[in-house]
């Protein structure tokens, strides 16, 4: 065990694997929502990606925000790669291509989520402005190929990058030029987890369609409304997808643990260093048979690290992570959390959402996952189109937020944070479709305009 995380106990049994997720169960009054979002960074004159080093680099941006907020830096070797807000259990981290991610603190209300988002953008832009760093709210960088995007100095990404080239065709695009917004929600019990997971997996293509915001790649119309979502279909089939086993009778924490055990590993952290075990088996690790760490057995922390390397459309840890949406503007960031809180945190809405999807087959869910990145809300489905399902889902979420009755200082409930989705339902057009209208219309194919209009 020399070099292992001595603060984390060894895994003694299957029960330890299950308990790593099961301990996330919380009473309703302790449920929170955490919102994570990734912003592309770019310079102007000329428009170009941002390097890590240099007086106007990402490191300088981190340093400036540290000085502004007092948040604590954390490191990979000698390099600061993020900031921790210890007071609220949130922070900033860097994605492989410099995407600047806020991992929001767990909030009681969406009003708090919106305030957090606004404050973060205020501070980030204040520090970024003299560095000529700007933030872009899109699901994929619209013009740069992966080869032109500087890599951030994070050891885990040095392990993941070559592995991605072995297991998929667009894995490095996922790492270096995609950006998402994610909502993290709680559950009260195993049964509550199962119902929420099933509902949210089934409806994830609906979220993808509503938040579609990545129609451009390599300087052109990609033919997809969410190229980011298309990327995930071509990344790593072992660790992505729609979790069909979650809809089987008897599904629970144990079955998810079994699934995770069969997903190939990426790394193990020892003495603060990342050990490359890409493609190895966690089951072999449990037996002390990892070739890179012979005789060594895993800790609970090793298992939690491994769970964080699974990338399904909904990920189970000690909470549920909704992973299907493209990054967008501030209103869409908060709207994603509003959508899922309204659906999952009110029992009447959760039951209604389950009624909406309960008769869908595995083939239905896979069909939507395949077709929605290209067709979005117009995807043909159930004698109509996915638009009808999306409209119902937004209505169910809105009703759930009304029943939650969490009011802001002006006496408004949380439905105000669904405004961006209500616009999409009213117009029938996702953000991607609105960009495409401009690109093929008033912009006359000049994609440089998007760096002005999609700047956050």
Q: Does any domain span residue 300? A: no
Angle of helix 386-404 versus helix 330-344 axis, rounded to 10:
80
Q: How many other C-beta atoms are found inside a 10 Å radius of the C-beta of residue 234?
A: 15
Question: Using CA atoms in the order 419, 205, 278, 174, what is the torsion angle rounded to 10 degrees?
Answer: -60
Please check whether residue 110 is in contact with residue 334, taking contact to mean a CB–CB distance below 8 angstroms.
yes
Strands 79-85 and 216-217: unpaired
- Tell me the two tokens of residue 230: 């298309």
Question: Using CA atoms in the order 49, 59, 88, 18, what is the torsion angle rounded to 10 degrees?
Answer: 70
Q: What is the DSSP letter of 445?
A: T
pLDDT at 212: 99
Q: Does any domain span residue 11? A: no
pLDDT at 3: 43
Please check whether residue 332 is in contact with residue 35, taking contact to mean a CB–CB distance below 8 angstroms.
no
Q: How far apart are the C-alpha atoms of 85 and 70, rounded to whole Å?
A: 8
pLDDT at 7: 84
Picking from 152, 331, 327, the residue whose alpha carbon sits closest to that of residue 229 is: 327
Q: Does any domain span residue 35? A: yes
Q: Does any domain span residue 285? A: no
Please check whether residue 29 is in contact with residue 325, taking contact to mean a CB–CB distance below 8 angstroms.
no
Which range marks the domain in which residue 131 is found?
A: 31-263+310-453
Angle of helix 110-128 versus helix 58-69 axis, rounded to 10:
120
Question: Using alpha carbons only, how large is the chain's radius of gyration in Å?
Answer: 21
pLDDT at 123: 98
pLDDT at 2: 35
Give the start-end residues of each E strand in 88-234: 90-94, 100-103, 134-136, 180-185, 216-217, 220-221
Tell me the helix, strand and coil percentages in the chain, rounded to 5.
45, 20, 35
pLDDT at 88: 87
Q: Does any domain span residue 146? A: yes
Angle, CA 22 vertex, CA 20 and CA 23 arms, to 5°: 75
Residue 419 phi/psi, 5-degree rounding, is -55, -40
Give the start-end residues of each E strand in 148-300: 180-185, 216-217, 220-221, 240-241, 267-270, 273-276
* Residue 38, domain CATH: 3.30.590.20
- Tell me, yes or no, if the pTM score tops 0.95: yes
Please check whether residue 84 is in contact with residue 71, taking contact to mean a CB–CB distance below 8 angstroms.
yes
Number of structural domains (the chain) is 1
Q: Does any domain span residue 70? A: yes
Please check whether residue 119 is in contact with residue 41, taking contact to mean a CB–CB distance below 8 angstroms.
no
Cα-Cα end-to-end distance for the chain: 47
State whether residue 62 is helix, strand or coil: helix
pLDDT by residue for the chain (456 residues), tens only, comes to 334 455 899 999 999 999 999 999 999 999 999 999 999 999 998 999 999 999 999 999 999 999 999 999 999 999 999 999 988 889 999 999 999 999 999 999 999 999 999 999 999 999 999 999 999 999 999 999 999 999 999 999 999 999 999 999 999 999 999 999 999 999 999 999 999 999 999 999 999 999 999 999 999 999 999 999 999 999 999 999 999 999 999 999 999 999 999 999 999 999 999 999 999 999 999 999 999 999 999 999 999 999 999 999 999 999 999 999 999 999 999 999 999 999 999 999 999 999 999 999 999 999 999 999 999 999 999 999 999 999 999 999 999 999 999 999 999 999 999 999 999 999 999 999 999 999 999 999 999 999 999 999
Picking from 218, 212, 270, the residue whose alpha carbon sits closest to that of residue 434 is: 212
Q: Does any domain span residue 284? A: no
- Tell me the two tokens of residue 404: 């939650």
């Amino acid at each position: 065990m020399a070099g292992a995380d001595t603060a984390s106990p060894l895994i003694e049994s299957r029960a330890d694997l299950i308990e790593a997720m099961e301990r996330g169960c919380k009473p309703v009054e302790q449920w929170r929502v955490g919102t994570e979002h990734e912003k592309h960074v770019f310079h102007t004159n000329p428009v170009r990606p941002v390097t890590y080093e240099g007086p106007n680099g990402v490191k300088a941006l981190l340093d400036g925000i540290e000085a502004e907020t007092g948040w604590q830096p954390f490191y990979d070797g000698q390099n600061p790669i993020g900031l921790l807000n210890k007071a609220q259990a949130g922070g900033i981290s860097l994605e492989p291509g410099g995407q600047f991610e806020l991992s929001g603190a767990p909030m009681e209300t969406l009003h708090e989520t919106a305030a957090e988002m606004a404050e973060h953008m205020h501070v980030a832009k204040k520090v970024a402005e003299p560095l000529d760093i700007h933030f872009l709210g899109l699901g994929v960088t619209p013009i740069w190929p992966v080869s032109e995007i500087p890599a951030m100095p994070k050891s885990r990404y040095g392990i993941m990058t070559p592995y991605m080239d072995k297991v998929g065709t667009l894995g490095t695009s996922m790492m270096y030029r995609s950006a998402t917004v994610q909502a993290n929600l709680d559950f009260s019990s195993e049964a509550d987890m199962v119902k929420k997971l099933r509902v949210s997996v089934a409806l994830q293509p609906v979220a993808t369609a509503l938040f579609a915001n990545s129609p451009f790649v390599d300087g052109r119309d990609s033919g997809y409304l969410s190229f980011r979502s298309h990327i995930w279909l071509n990344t790593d089939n072992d660790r992505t997808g729609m979790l069909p086993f979650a809809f089987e009778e008897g599904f629970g924490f144990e079955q998810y643990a079994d699934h995770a055990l069969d997903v190939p590993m990426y790394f193990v952290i020892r003495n603060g260093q990342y050990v490359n075990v890409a493609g190895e088996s966690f089951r072999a690790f449990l037996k002390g048979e990892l070739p890179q760490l012979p005789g060594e057995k895993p800790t609970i922390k090793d298992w939690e690290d491994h769970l964080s390397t699974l990338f399904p459309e909904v990920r189970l840890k000690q909470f549920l992570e909704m992973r299907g949406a493209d990054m967008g503007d501030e209103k869409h960031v908060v709207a994603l959390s509003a959508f899922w809180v309204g659906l999952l945190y009110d029992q009447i809405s959760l039951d209604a959402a389950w009624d909406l999807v309960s008769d869908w087959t595995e083939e239905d869910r896979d069909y939507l996952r395949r077709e929605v990145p290209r067709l979005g809300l117009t995807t043909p489905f159930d004698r109509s189109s996915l638009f009808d399902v999306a409209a119902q889902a937004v209505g169910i979420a809105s009703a759930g937020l009304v029943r939650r009755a969490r009011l802001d200082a002006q006496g408004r409930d949380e439905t105000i944070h669904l405004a961006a989705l209500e616009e999409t339902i009213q117009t029938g057009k996702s953000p991607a479709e609105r960009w495409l209208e401009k690109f093929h219309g008033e912009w006359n194919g000049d994609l440089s305009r998007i760096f002005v209009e999609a700047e956050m």
